[in-house]
Amino acid sequence: MTANNLDSDFGFENQEEYNNDREFARFDLPDDYTLTMEQWVENENAVKIGLPASKSVVENLPSVVLTVDEVQKNNDSVVCAVCKEDVAAGEKITRMPCFHLYHGDCILPWLEIRNTCPVCRYELPTDDADYEKRQRDSRLGW
């Protein structure tokens, strides 16, 4: 049995009436939904996704050699959250301000496109002065 639902008129007398009803429904939204959409459009933070971390901050992230003690503190397993591979004692790693550990070759490309820790979303400063001002103002409640 074959059914062709593509040519159905859904009870409308003609295609024009169907098209007009679809156009009307698209713009007949509840007020709270419309307000939410307007707020989203106005909120540049919601639109600006993926600002890179400040170059000077990234250049100054500490690169350290992972010690046996640090591996033991983490139940004998330290995993780079970017590549998901184990990090061995004696290996050089990059430590974020939030203390999460990464291979330098993994975290540096990430920070070129995002200013957050992949694990906890700790936010590093950016080189975007407008963004930093908005962040500062929002923390102060302005």
Query: pLDDT at residue 4 above 90?
Result: no
Neighbours of 48 (CB within 10 A): 13
pTM value is: 0.61
Confidence of residue 120 (pLDDT cuts 50, 70, 90): very high
The pLDDT assigned to 23 comes to 53
DSSP string, 40-105: HHH-HHHH---PPPPHHHHHTSPEEEPPHHHHHHTTT--B-TTT--B--TT-EEEE-TT--EE-HH
In the chain, the domains with their CATH numbers are: 13-142 (3.30.40.10)
Q: Which residues lie below 8 Å from residue 71, measured CB to CB, with a gap of 6+?
A: 77, 78, 87, 88, 89
Of the candidates 131, 134, 60, 140, the one whose C-alpha atom is nearest the C-alpha of residue 97 is 60
Mean pLDDT throughout 14-24? 55
Question: What tokens appear for 134 in the block?
Answer: 């908005």
Mean pLDDT of the 41-62 span: 78
Q: Which residue has the tokens 């993926």?
A: 50
Q: How far apart are CA 23 and CA 44, in angstroms?
A: 28
For the purposes of burial, counting CB atoms within 10 Å of the CB of 117, is it exposed (0-12), middle (13-18) or buried (19 or more)? buried
Instruction: Tell me: pLDDT of 99 over 80.
Output: yes
Confidence bin at 31 (pLDDT 50/70/90): low
Name the phi and psi angles at 119, rounded to 5: -90, -55
